[in-house]
């Protein structure tokens, strides 16, 4: 059924359709509406039986999810930004234990400086933790990915993060198709836990593993992610067969036919990119877009195959490895190693800075002329940075950075003197 | 280490401060929010005690209350969720000469930062801690907090919260090394100020729970106490609060309570009918963390003075 609803509400409805037995969460913007939506569904009885636990922190949220999942319950939580970082130790724990928890990450920047707006720094910081990471392009896909995530997680006994852009998706009202409970039940079988509390076979979970087997346990997680590379497209195909739409999968190719230039991105910015590319295509430029829907596991082979015919690739990413450059582009580089392909990284949209079509057209024009450097920061105010560097050179006690920059841009700084 | 000589000379001047010297920006809190009352009391304290803005720090975590440092024209540190206390401890250890205040909310202190809370009490550093307790998460728009009364309907507890509220005063009074615990309400400014002042003057960790209204998300939560002054019990004592005659006309429910009696303090803290307001416990004998570690490692005023002396001695012209 088509409904005009907020992205967070759509996700709450999707999660509820998956019949989770335990939900635990701590509020943090921009995730809050998701768990509030679920709280409401538990209250109204629409989601039953389900325990909704208000925990005292994100660290507790993930820990409770671990306990619940280990005891055999389908478990769900959601967080963002600082919350994800605070739960980091438990995030690794969940994947190490092979617990099929599903978590929504409403992608948001990480402070300091405090910033509640969208970029991908939070989930990218957990890139290597063993969780699968699926990125939603639209609210419909965010909804659909949750159904697929539980299926994938439970098949593989691995936790899955569904990443959706904070505010841009979580707070946007869009028309989404909500499947019926019967449809979801047919797609997602009841959870059959791999480890249960069995009095006939009592077991302690969380064994200490020394050098004799630690690498094998970790490798197993890698192996399962490699297996997921096969299962993700199959699940997406099954999803398409049942629900009649494309959602998930490894990659989202758009106008890739004969594309000499390919722009790679993740998440909601793909919409803006498609519009931009349409404009360029209309002007006769052979350019296409390749969305990465599965960031972990990273689809090296699929990406290489898709990029092989191209001449240049631009990775547009909302994440930033300070001291190196792009996060996604490092992985892309690995995928295309040895191909005669000119590549550049464009870091964009950090802390919620708008990624406009005009700016994209500008940067892509430079790419098409092969004038784009290896690393560009979209709409970066270099003067602002230079002024701060100059200040730091001139005086030792140059003061706090963020406050200085805010004063320079003329925003009312946190302190009015 | 070096010390600025003008800093020393400044201290010699007779300093007069006005409220404006501590006011910074226009608070973005909702009108009627208890945070405004706390800000007013604290700015008044700073003026009356002539706290030099450059010698004063306000440290906060995350939440409505944690915007506090932005509204003080002193040093401020707006940290991460739940970590106000350890950040303040770090500031205090590096600069024991500074007056350090902590503004934390019921989410920040009693929920995500609860582990730090227990240990901060135990360390008993010379900090003044204000727990802005409005019994709800305000900044994220109405979710139950650990201090929400049982049955509170919120966006994450639509059936009403299941658990008895955590009592921050009882918890604090139960921790080893507790040295100062008081409780205030935002709607009696006179008493709020007296308590804030007593907390400031206590050497050690002074913990003040300030029961505050949230007109936006729990507008009626404290109506029973607001409408019936007898349900606010003023704790008076020669070593505690001295309620004025004017105040006593309205708040007739008064009790003599000796703040040195921790057992009685614990009994009073557990009162679920009345809100006890006053100094519940004070023990100046509990050693501060600063006194237990090697004081010579700290940048104490004494150390500052001795370095300053030797600096000034360089300019001495011997006869």
Tell me, yes or no, whether B310 lies in a domain: no
Residue ranges of chain A whose CB lies within 8 Å of a chain B CB: 25-29, 32, 35-36, 39-40, 42-44, 52, 54, 56-59, 82, 86, 111-112, 114, 412, 414-417
With a CB-CB cutoff of 8 Å, which residues 281-310 of chain B face chain A? none
CA-based diameter of chain B, in Å?
84
Residue with tokens 């792009």: A326
- Give yes or no for a contact between A318 and A401, defined as CB atoms under 8 angstroms apart: no
Do A395 and A352 belong together in one domain?
no
Tell me, yes or no, whether A134 lies in a domain: yes
Do A344 and A393 belong together in one domain?
no
Tell me, yes or no, whether B129 lies in a domain: yes
Do A119 and A17 belong together in one domain?
yes
Residues A125-183 pLDDT 10s: 999 999 999 999 999 999 999 999 999 999 999 999 999 999 999 999 999 999 999 99
Q: Does B112 touch chain A (CB under 8 A)?
A: yes
Q: Å from A403 to nearest chain B CA?
A: 11
Do A168 and A282 belong together in one domain?
no
- Give yes or no for a contact between A182 and A52, defined as CB atoms under 8 angstroms apart: no
pLDDT of amino acid B301: 78
In this prediction, residues A271-279 reach a mean pLDDT of 98
Tell me, yes or no, whether B79 lies in a domain: yes
Do A314 and A394 belong together in one domain?
no
Tell me, yes or no, whether A322 lies in a domain: yes
Token pair of A233 as six digits: 């497209």
**Nearest Cβ partner for B140 among A27, A54, A412:** A27
Residue A191 has pLDDT above 60, yes or no: yes
Tell me, yes or no, whether A9 lies in a domain: yes
Token pair of A416 as six digits: 């009015």
pLDDT of amino acid A198: 83
pLDDT of amino acid B317: 80
The number of folded domains in chain A is: 3
Element (H, E) at B256: strand B254-256
Q: Do B112 and A56 touch (CB under 8 A)?
A: yes
Chain A residues touching residue B143 (CB < 8 angstroms): 27, 32, 36, 54
pLDDT of amino acid B32: 93
Element (H, E) at B266: helix B262-269
Tell me, yes or no, whether A383 lies in a domain: no
**Nearest Cβ partner for B112 among A52, A57, A114:** A57
Chain A residues touching residue B53 (CB < 8 angstroms): none
- Give yes or no for a contact between A164 and A104, defined as CB atoms under 8 angstroms apart: yes
**Nearest Cβ partner for A36 among B25, B146, B156:** B156
**Nearest Cβ partner for B111 among A56, A82, A416:** A56
- Best to test chain A binding among B26, B78, B112 (most A CBs inside 10 Å): B112
pLDDT of amino acid B2: 47
Q: Å from A377 to nearest chain B CA?
A: 27
Chain A residues touching residue B76 (CB < 8 angstroms): 414-415
pLDDT of amino acid B299: 72
**Residue finishing a domain among A200, A220, A243:** A243
Among A300, A307, A285, residue whose Cα is nearest residue A360: A285
Positive or negative torsion for Cα B150, B151, B152, B154: positive
According to DSSP, the β-strands at A160-165 and A75-79 are unpaired
Do A224 and A265 belong together in one domain?
no
Q: Å from B304 to nearest chain A CA?
A: 20
d(CA B158, CA A43): 6
Name the residue in chain A with its Cα closest to that of B21. Answer: A417
Q: Å from B6 to nearest chain A CA?
A: 17
Collapsed DSSP state (helix, strand, coil) of residue B15: coil
Residues B91-134 pLDDT 10s: 998 888 899 999 999 999 999 999 999 999 999 999 999 999 99
Token pair of B124 as six digits: 């008993």
Residue A36 has pLDDT above 50, yes or no: yes
Q: Do B25 and A27 touch (CB under 8 A)?
A: no
Do A303 and A214 belong together in one domain?
no
Three-state SS for chain A is CEEEEEHHHHHHHHHHHCCCCEEEECCCCCCHHHHHHHHHHHHCCCCCCCEEEECCCHHHHHHHHHHHHHCCCCEEEEECHHHHHHCHHHHHHHHHCCCCCEEEEEECCCCCCCCCCCCCHHHHHCCCCCCEEEECCCHHHHHHHHHHHHHHHHHHCCCEEEEEECCCCCCCEEEEECCCHHHHHHHCCCCCCCCCCCCCCCCCCCCCCCCCCHHHHHHHHHHHHHHHHHHHHHHHHHHHHHHCCCCCCCEEEECCCCCCEEEEECCCHHHHHHHHHHHHHHCCCCEEEEEECEEECCCHHHHHHHHCCCCEEEEEECCCECCCECCHHHHHHHHCCCCCCEEEEEECCHHHCCCCHHHHHHHHHHHHCCCCCCEEECCCCHHHHHHHHHHHHHCCCCCCHHHHHHHHHCCCCCCCC
- Residue A153: partners with Cβ closer than 8 Å, 6 or more residues away: A100, A101, A102, A132, A159, A160
Do A303 and A362 belong together in one domain?
yes
**Nearest Cβ partner for B140 among A28, A59, A417:** A28
Do A195 and A134 belong together in one domain?
yes
Q: What is the CATH number of the domain that holds A300?
A: 3.40.50.920
d(CA B135, CA B127): 23
pLDDT of amino acid B296: 65
In which region does residue B14 sit, left (phi positive, over 0), alpha (psi from -120 to 50) or beta (all else)?
A: beta
Do A369 and A406 belong together in one domain?
no
The DSSP call for residue B215 is: T
Tell me, yes or no, whether B204 lies in a domain: yes
Q: Does B156 touch chain A (CB under 8 A)?
A: yes
Tell me, yes or no, whether B300 lies in a domain: no
pLDDT of amino acid A135: 98
Residue A54 has pLDDT above 70, yes or no: yes
Tell me, yes or no, whether B104 lies in a domain: yes
Tell me, yes or no, whether B311 lies in a domain: no
Q: Å from A136 to nearest chain B CA?
A: 24
User: How many interface pairs between A and B have CB atoms less than 8 angstroms apart?
Assistant: 67
Element (H, E) at B282: strand B275-282
- Give yes or no for a contact between A383 and A277, defined as CB atoms under 8 angstroms apart: no
Q: What is the CATH number of the domain that holds B253?
A: 3.40.50.970
Question: Model confidence at A257, in pLDDT bands (50, 70, 90)?
Answer: very high
Tell me, yes or no, whether A384 lies in a domain: no
Residues of the domain holding B41: 24-287
Q: Å from B43 to nearest chain A CA?
A: 15
Chain A residues touching residue B111 (CB < 8 angstroms): 26, 56-57
Among A304, A375, A295, residue whose Cα is nearest residue A338: A304
**Residue finishing a domain among A193, A224, A243:** A243
Chain A residues touching residue B157 (CB < 8 angstroms): 39, 54
Q: Do B155 and A26 touch (CB under 8 A)?
A: no
- Residue B197: partners with Cβ closer than 8 Å, 6 or more residues away: B45, B48, B49
Residue with tokens 């049955």: B151
In this prediction, residues A314-336 reach a mean pLDDT of 97
Tell me, yes or no, whether B128 lies in a domain: yes
Q: Å from A25 to nearest chain B CA?
A: 9
The number of folded domains in chain B is: 1
In angstroms, what CA-CA distances link B219 with B31, B135, B192, B239? 12, 11, 20, 35
Token pair of A122 as six digits: 């939070």
Residue A83 has pLDDT above 60, yes or no: yes
Residues of the domain holding A267: 251-377
- Give yes or no for a contact between A26 and B62, defined as CB atoms under 8 angstroms apart: no
ipTM above 0.85, yes or no: no
- Residue A68: partners with Cβ closer than 8 Å, 6 or more residues away: A21, A22, A24, A51, A75
Residues B183-227 pLDDT 10s: 999 999 999 999 999 999 999 999 999 999 999 999 999 999 999
Chain B residues touching residue A417 (CB < 8 angstroms): 24, 73
Number of residues written out for chain B: 319
According to DSSP, the β-strands at B75-78 and B99-105 are unpaired
- Best to test chain A binding among B61, B80, B115, B158 (most A CBs inside 10 Å): B158
Chain B residues touching residue A29 (CB < 8 angstroms): 140
pLDDT of amino acid A169: 98
Beta bridge mates, A329: none
Residues A337-378 pLDDT 10s: 999 999 999 999 999 999 999 999 999 999 999 999 999 999
Could you list the pLDDT tens digit for every one of the 319 residues in chain B? 445 665 655 555 567 899 999 999 899 999 999 999 999 999 999 999 999 999 999 999 999 999 999 999 999 999 999 999 999 998 998 888 899 999 999 999 999 999 999 999 999 999 999 999 999 999 999 999 999 999 999 988 888 999 999 999 999 999 999 999 999 999 999 999 999 999 999 999 999 999 999 999 999 999 999 999 999 999 999 999 999 999 999 999 999 999 999 999 999 999 989 999 999 999 999 999 988 876 666 677 788 888 888 888 888 887 6
């Amino acid at each position: 059924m088509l409904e005009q609803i907020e992205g967070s509400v759509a996700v709450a409805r999707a999660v509820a359709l998956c019949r989770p037995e335990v939900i635990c969460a701590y509020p943090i913007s921009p995730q809050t509406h998701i768990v509030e939506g679920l709280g409401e569904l538990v209250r109204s009885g629409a989601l039953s039986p389900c325990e909704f636990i208000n925990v005292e922190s994100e660290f507790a949220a993930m820990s409770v999810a671990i306990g619940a999942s280990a005891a055999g319950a389908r478990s769900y939580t959601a967080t963002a930004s600082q919350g994800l970082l605070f739960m980091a130790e438990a995030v690794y724990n969940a994947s190490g234990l092979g617990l099929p928890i599903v978590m929504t990450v409403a992608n948001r920047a990480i402070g300091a400086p405090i910033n509640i707006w969208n970029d991908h720094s939070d989930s990218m910081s957990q890139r290597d933790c063993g969780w699968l990471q699926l990125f939603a392009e639209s609210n419909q896909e965010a909804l659909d990915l949750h159904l697929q995530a539980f299926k994938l997680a439970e098949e593989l006994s691995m936790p899955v993060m569904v990443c959706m852009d904070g505010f841009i998706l979580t707070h946007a009202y869009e028309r989404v198709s909500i499947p019926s409970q019967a449809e979801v039940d047919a797609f997602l079988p009841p959870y059959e836990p791999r480890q249960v509390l069995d009095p006939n076979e009592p077991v302690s979970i969380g064994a200490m593993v020394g050098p004799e087997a630690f690498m094998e346990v970790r490798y197993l997680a890698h192996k399962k992610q490699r297996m997921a590379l096969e299962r993700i497209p199959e699940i997406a195909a099954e999803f398409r067969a049942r629900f009649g739409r494309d959602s998930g999968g490894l990659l989202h190719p758009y106008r890739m036919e004969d594309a000499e230039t390919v722009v790679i991105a993740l998440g909601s910015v793909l919409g803006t990119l498609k519009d931009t590319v349409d404009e360029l295509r209309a002007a006769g430029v052979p350019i296409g877009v390749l969305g990465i829907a599965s960031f972990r596991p990273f689809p090296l082979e699929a990406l290489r195959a898709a990029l092989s015919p191209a001449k240049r690739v631009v990775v547009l990413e909302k994440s930033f490895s300070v001291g190196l450059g792009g996060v996604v582009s490092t992985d892309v580089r690995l995928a295309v190693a040895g191909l005669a392909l000119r590549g550049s990284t464009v870091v964009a949209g950090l802390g919620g800075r708008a990624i406009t079509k005009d700016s994209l057209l500008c940067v892509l024009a430079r790419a098409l002329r092969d004038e784009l450097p290896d690393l560009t920061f979209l709409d970066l105010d270099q003067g602002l940075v230079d002024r701060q560097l100059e200040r730091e050179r001139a005086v030792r006690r140059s003061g706090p950075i963020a406050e200085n920059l805010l004063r320079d841009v003329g925003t009312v700084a946190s302190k009015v003197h | 280490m070096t010390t600025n000589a003008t800093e020393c000379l400044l201290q010699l001047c007779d300093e007069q401060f006005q409220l404006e010297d501590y006011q910074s920006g226009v608070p973005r809190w909702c009108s009627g929010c208890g945070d405004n009352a706390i800000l007013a009391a604290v700015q008044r304290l700073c003026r009356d005690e002539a706290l030099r803005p450059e010698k004063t720090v306000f440290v906060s975590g995350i939440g409505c209350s944690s915007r506090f440092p932005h509204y003080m024209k002193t040093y401020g540190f707006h940290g991460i969720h739940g970590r106000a206390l350890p950040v303040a401890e770090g500031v205090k250890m590096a600069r024991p000469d500074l007056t350090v205040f902590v503004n934390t909310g019921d989410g920040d202190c009693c929920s995500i930062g609860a582990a730090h809370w227990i240990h901060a009490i135990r360390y008993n550093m010379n900090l003044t801690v204000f727990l802005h307790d409005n019994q709800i998460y305000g900044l994220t728009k109405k979710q139950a907090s650990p201090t929400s009364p049982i049955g509170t309907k919120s966006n994450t507890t639509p059936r009403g919260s299941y658990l008895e509220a955590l009592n921050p005063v009882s918890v604090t009074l139960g921790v080893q090394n507790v040295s100062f615990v008081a409780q205030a309400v935002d709607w009696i400014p006179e008493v709020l100020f007296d308590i804030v002042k007593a907390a400031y003057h206590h050497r050690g960790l002074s913990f003040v729970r300030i029961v505050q209204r949230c007109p936006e998300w729990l507008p009626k939560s404290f109506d029973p106490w607001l409408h019936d002054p007898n349900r606010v019990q003023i704790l008076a004592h020669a070593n505690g609060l001295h309620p004025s005659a004017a105040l006593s006309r309205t708040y007739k429910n008064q009790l003599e309570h000796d703040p040195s009696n921790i057992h009685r303090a614990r009994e009073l803290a557990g009162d679920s009918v009345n809100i006890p307001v006053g100094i519940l416990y004070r023990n100046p004998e509990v050693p501060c963390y600063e006194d237990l570690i090697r004081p010579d490692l700290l940048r104490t005023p004494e150390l500052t003075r001795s370095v300053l002396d030797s600096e000034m001695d360089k300019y001495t012209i011997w006869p």
